[in-house]
Amino acid sequence: MPREVAFQRCIDPACAATFGIREILNKCPKCGALVDVAYDENKLRLPKKLSGLGVAPKELKGLAATSGVWRFHQLLPFAPAGKVVSIGEGRTILAAGAPAAEYAGMKPGRLFLQYEGLNPSGSFKDNGMAGAFTHARMVGAKMACCASTGNTSASLAAFAAATGLMKAAVFVGSGKIAIGKLSQALDYGALTYEIEGDFDDAMRRVVEVSADLGLYLVNSLNPFRLEGQKTIMYRVLEGLGWQVPDWIVCPAGNLGNTSAFGKAFEELYQLGLIKRKPRIASINSTGADSFSVWWNDGRMRWNDHKFDRALVDRRYAKLDSRELKTNTIASAIEINRPVNLAKGLRALAWTDGLVRAVPDEAILDAKAVVGLCGYGCEPASAASVAGAKFLVEEGVIGRDERVVCIITGHHLKAPDVTVGYHSYTGEKFHHKFGEFGIRAAKLPNVPVRLPNDRAAIVAELRRASGR
Ligand SMILES: *Cc1c(COP(=O)(O)O)cnc(C)c1O
Ligand SMILES: [Zn+2]
């Protein structure tokens, strides 16, 4: 049988089994490793130069013709261009973010924010969902499901409602979901299940249940999600006039972004469209820092898929016994068992990347700075800016290197956190998820209480504006 342009392949080089593009695989049936979507280079229809990318093919229909994912169809042609699914995702921007550059200690104009909050459901997840939904339709799925800290479920629910192609069932950890995200799943009409426990618990169950019932799983184990997420990097390159930055800094949860970004650059490099790759910095919260602990303390590396699994087992045992707890205000990265660990390690090997962890305090201050740039974000997203600052202070990122921080989700996802932070007046910062020991919010914008009195208001404004 002549091989199609796209197929699936086990990521373990020792196995490298290949499978058809229409199979539904969350892992390799032969060895259990993750699988990639792969392409036959000779069958790709590519421009000669990088700057020729991003021009939507004529076959795209409806919203897909406007999609920031599908206009890069040339680099993810696993479905015919006329058959892709879109709700208008990926129309996002690369913003200058001068306050963030200054905050991170970078020279002016050297730090950028890739603002994915502009997606229809308000997070970068829509990029990947366009890929997964397209595959789900290819295989005739009737119902899709996911476990989620909130944004995957919001995205799945939005795609299901907006396209009417299938039903959605979402599993979230009880009490562990930001209010904006829960409101979306409910509003878009998804079947919504709160599983006792945290994300990792919900994740384990949804894998079992989807297998029991033959539901289409759209978690980032799903390789088609990662294909959609590659396009975030193409848009970054486009935003930089097709120049390759020095660093991509992104929050690290299940390592879907880390994996997808690494794959995007490795493929462009192998295809000869770029001459060098940026380094990827993957940023955990210290409240859920498995990846950082493995990478930095355990020296875990990709090592052609022979990474140190004993480290993983030891940590999972501690998590199982509750000796080790997961707790961060950055709920989207409150993940201690990253499902894409192997691909994440591979991405960092491909890009000479690294991992760091930043505390909640640093995340919340960085979040306030992203707000000051005019592009607010949810807590997890700000881990990128907090991580960039940390790496500049460490001397790992040079002040005049070019850095792109991925701002993964919109600030209205968790407005309670924002209001809590800006109401900080010297006492501890409280939040319904717990007390996060924020000793000092550095950039609170405390609302000022005034009497209902014209003269008093004028006096206060005069004082504040120096007039
Ligand atoms: C899902 C999510 C993350 C984590 O991304 P991974 O690709 O799983 O590492 C980070 N930020 C936001 C806002 C998210 O929704
Ligand atoms: Zn295999």
pLDDT interval class at 175 (50, 70, 90): confident
What CATH number does residue 281 fall under?
Answer: 3.40.50.1100
**From the CA of 12, which ligand is nearest?**
2
For residue 134, tell me if it sits in a domain: no
For residue 411, tell me if it sits in a domain: yes
Average pLDDT in the 294-315 region? 98
| Ligand 1 atom showing the smallest separation from residue 413 Cα | 13
CB of 333 shorter than 6 A to ligand 1: yes
Average pLDDT in the 370-381 region? 97
pLDDT at position 246 over 60: yes
Spatial separation of the C-alpha atoms in residues 324 and 94, rounded to whole Å? 38
CB of 256 shorter than 6 A to ligand 1: yes
What percent of the chain shows pLDDT beyond 70? 96
HEC profile for 163-196? HCCCEEEEEEECCCCCHHHHHHHHHCCCEEEEEC
Residue type for position 401: E
Distance in Å, CA 231 to ligand 1 centroid: 15
| Ligand 1 atom showing the smallest separation from residue 257 Cα | 7
Query: Phi and psi for 94 in degrees, rounded to 5?
Result: -100, 115
For residue 189, tell me if it sits in a domain: no
Distance in Å, CA 252 to ligand 2 centroid: 25
The residue segments making up the domain with residue 284 are 93-120+224-416
**If 0-12 CB within 10 Å is exposed, 13-18 middle and 19+ buried, where does residue 317 land?**
exposed
Q: Give residue-wise pLDDT tens across range 134-156.
A: 999 999 999 999 998 899 999 99
CA angle 213, 6, 169 (to 5 degrees): 25
Three-state DSSP state, 403: strand
For residue 285, tell me if it sits in a domain: yes
Residue among 123, 230, 259 whose CB has most ligand 1 atoms within 8 A, to mutate? 123
Cβ pair 337, 294 in contact under 8 A: no
CB of 116 shorter than 6 A to ligand 1: no
pLDDT interval class at 345 (50, 70, 90): very high
Residue 78: its pLDDT value, please?
Answer: 98
Distance in Å, CA 433 to ligand 2 centroid: 40
Residue 446: its pLDDT value, please?
Answer: 83
CA distances from 60 to 48, 56, 85 (A): 22, 7, 10
For residue 336, tell me if it sits in a domain: yes
For residue 35, the cross-strand partners are 10
Distance in Å, CA 252 to ligand 1 centroid: 7
Distance in Å, CA 221 to ligand 1 centroid: 13
Averaged confidence pLDDT in the chain? 93
DSSP classification of residue 295? I
Average pLDDT in the 441-454 region? 89
Residue 13: its pLDDT value, please?
Answer: 98
Residues near 343 by beta carbon (within 8 Å), at least 6 away in sequence: 11, 34, 36, 226, 255, 258, 259, 262, 263
Q: Give residue-wise pLDDT tens across range 62-118.
A: 999 999 999 999 999 999 999 999 999 999 999 999 999 999 999 999 999 999 999
For residue 316, tell me if it sits in a domain: yes
Pick the more confident residue, 174 or 230: 230
Assigned token pair, 464: 């504040």
For residue 317, tell me if it sits in a domain: yes
Residue 178: its pLDDT value, please?
Answer: 82
Name the domain count of the chain: 1
For residue 215, tell me if it sits in a domain: no
What percent of the chain shows pLDDT beyond 90? 84
Residue among 257, 282, 339 whose CB has most ligand 1 atoms within 8 A, to mutate? 257
CB of 134 shorter than 6 A to ligand 1: no
Spatial separation of the C-alpha atoms in residues 257 and 338, rounded to whole Å? 12
Which of 325, 332, 262 minimizes the C-alpha distance to 290?
A: 325
Average pLDDT in the 361-367 region? 96
| Ligand 1 atom showing the smallest separation from residue 259 Cα | 7
Distance in Å, CA 282 to ligand 1 centroid: 11
> In 426-462, which positions are buried (b, 16+ CB within 10 angstroms) versus exposed (e)?
eeebebebeebebeebebbeeeeeeeeeeeeeeeeee
Pairing mode, strands 354-358 and 403-407: unpaired
Residue 1: its pLDDT value, please?
Answer: 47
Helix then strand then coil, in percent of the chain rounded to 5, is: 45, 15, 40
Distance in Å, CA 57 to ligand 2 centroid: 34
Q: Name the residue with tokens 């209205």.
A: 412
Spatial separation of the C-alpha atoms in residues 421 and 442, rounded to whole Å? 9
